[in-house]
Structure 1
Amino acid sequence: MGNVVLWKPSPAATLSNWFVYEILLEAGIPAGVIQFVPGPAPEICERVLANPDFASLHFTGSTNVFRKLWKDIGNNIEKYRSYPRIVGETGGKNFHVLHKSLDRSGVHNAAIQTIRGAFEYQGQKCSATSRVYVADNLLTQFKEFLLQEHAKISVGTVEGWYSFVPANFLGPVINKAAFDKVKSYIKWAEDDDESDVIAGGTYDDSKGYFIQPTIIFTNNPKSKTMVEEIFGPVVTISSYAADKYEETLHLVNESTQYALTDFSLLLHIFIYEGRSSLALDPAIINRFAKDREAIVIGSNILRNAAGNFYINDKSTGAVVGQQPFGGGRGSGTNDKAGSWSLLLRFVSARAIKENFNEVTEFHYPSNLI
C-alpha cells in the first residue's frame, strides 16, 4: 500500500524538512516516490490543484489557508479524474480547566502542566495551551505556583537540542512575521482595561526574534487573547465561580471556532490511592465519585470542542507513535494523525469476489448466497 507524494514544505522550515527528506531516502525509500518541492505556496498550489490527476491533500497550517485550498479544490472538481481526499490539521485555541476539587499539590501540578503546555516550542504548536479557566477558590494558589514556575524558565539560543539537553527552555519564534503578530497581542493586552500582563511581556528582535514567555490575566473570558489563536509564548488566565462549572464549560465550547486537542481537565480524583483505602473510607469514595462525575460532565458538554481529551495532563499530550492526534470544527478534519485510520484516507479500496459455483436459476433466492 502506498502512493507517490508531492512534499511542499513551509518556506519557514525548508531546511529541517530537507533533512528529514534526506533521512527517508537514506532509509530506503526509492527516489521519485517523494517529490520534494519547496517554493512559493501560491504558484505551487495553483499548478497542483489544477492537475486532473490531483488525488488528495494532506495539509498542516492555518485555518484560513486550509479553507482557501478546500474552496479551490471545489472549484476544480469537474476537472479531476476522481474525488480528492482532503485531510487538514489547522489552528487551535487549547485550554485547561481547573476544577474546584484540586488540592494544593493538584494546583501545583496544574501550574507546571500549564507552563510546559503554553511555552514549550515557544507556544508555536497548534496544541499549545493558550487559555486557562480557574475555579475562583484556586486562583490565588494557582497564580502563586504559576509565577514560581515561570521564574525558572530560561530563554535563549537553541544549543543543546541536538543532544536533547537544551541549555534553554525557550528559543526565538520562527520569523519576523510571527514576532510581530505575537507582539501585537501583548501590546493589546497592555492597553486593555480588563487585562493585566502578570509575567513576561517583553520582546527583542535585535538578534533573533525573542519573546519572553507571557502570562495575561483577564476579567473577560471572551477577551481577544482568550478567543483568537496567537501561536506564540502567550497564555491567558481567567477565573470562574467555582459553583459555575457547567456554565463555564458551555462558555469554553462557544468561545472559539476551534476544537483541537484538549479539554484538559485538571482535578483531584484520588486515582492513585490504594484499593483498600477506597473501599474502607466512605469520604474518599464520595470524593472519587464526585470528581469522576465532573469528568463525565466535561466530556459530554465538550464532546465537539476537543478532538483529544486529557485528564490531569497538559494540552500538548499527544506524542507521535503513542496517541492519535487531531481536532474538528475550525481545527481540521479530525482524521487522527498517528492512527492507522489516517492511512485509509489515502487509499482507494477495492473489493474482489470470485465465484466458483455455477448458478442454476435466476430467481431470488438462488441456490447461492
Structure 2
Amino acid sequence: MSNAFFKIPEPVNDPVRSYEPGSPDRALLKETLARMQAQEIEVPLIIGGQEIRTGNTAEMRAPHDHDIRLGVYHKAGEKEVKLAIEAALDARSDWAAMPWEHRASIMLRAADLLTGRWRPILNAATMLGQSKTVYQAEIDSACELIDFWRFNAYYMAQIMAEQPISGAGTWNRVEYRPLEGFVFAVSPFNFTSIAANLPTAPALVGNVCIWKPASSTVYSNYYVYQLLREAGLPDGV
C-alpha cells in the first residue's frame, strides 16, 4: 500500500564512453572479451525461473569469425511453449497487482547495474555475438538500453498521473491496467537494446511476457536476462 505520490528521478542520456587507449574502460572490456570468448556457455530455456534443457540445440558462433564458438542454446518445442504460457499466466496476477513504482524500481535498478559491472559484459556479448565494434556496442547495449529503462519508467509515471477533467460535483478518474493474457515478444537481431526493450517495456506496465529472441542474438539476450534477474525481476514475468 502506497501513501504518497512518487516521483521518478528525471532521466538524462547515459554518457557514451570512448574506450581510448590506456583507459580503465578499455582495459576492462578487453579483459572481459578475452574471458568470454574463451568460455563456451550453454543457454537453457528459462520457464517460470526453471532452466529447461530440451537437447535440441543450436550453436552460437561469432559472425565475424566462425571459428569462435560461443556455446549452444536449447530450442523450445510445443511442450515448452505451453509451459511458458502457463508460467507467465501464473505470474500475471501478482505482477499486475504490484504497485507501479515497485515495477519501476526493478527497471531503474537494472539500468543502474548496467552502468556498472554489467556494462563490459553486455558490450562484450554484443561484440562477440553480433560482430559490433566497441562504439556500436557501447551506444546500443549500454547507453541506449540504460536510457530505455530510465526513460520508460519516467514516462510511465507521467502516464499514471494523466487523469480526465472533472466537472462540478463529479470526480472522473482512470486507472491503467495491464492486458489480459500475455505479451509475446519476438525481438530482432540487430540491436541488443531493442531486443531487451521489447519485453521489458510491456512488463514495466504490468504485463507478463514470453520472450523469444532472434536465433542470432540468443547469446547477448541471455546476459540481458541474467541482469534483469539480478535487478529483481520475478520468475515468470
Give yes or no for TM over 0.5.
Answer: no
* TM score, norm. by length of structure 1: 0.22
**Greater Rg by CA:** 1
Higher helix share: 2
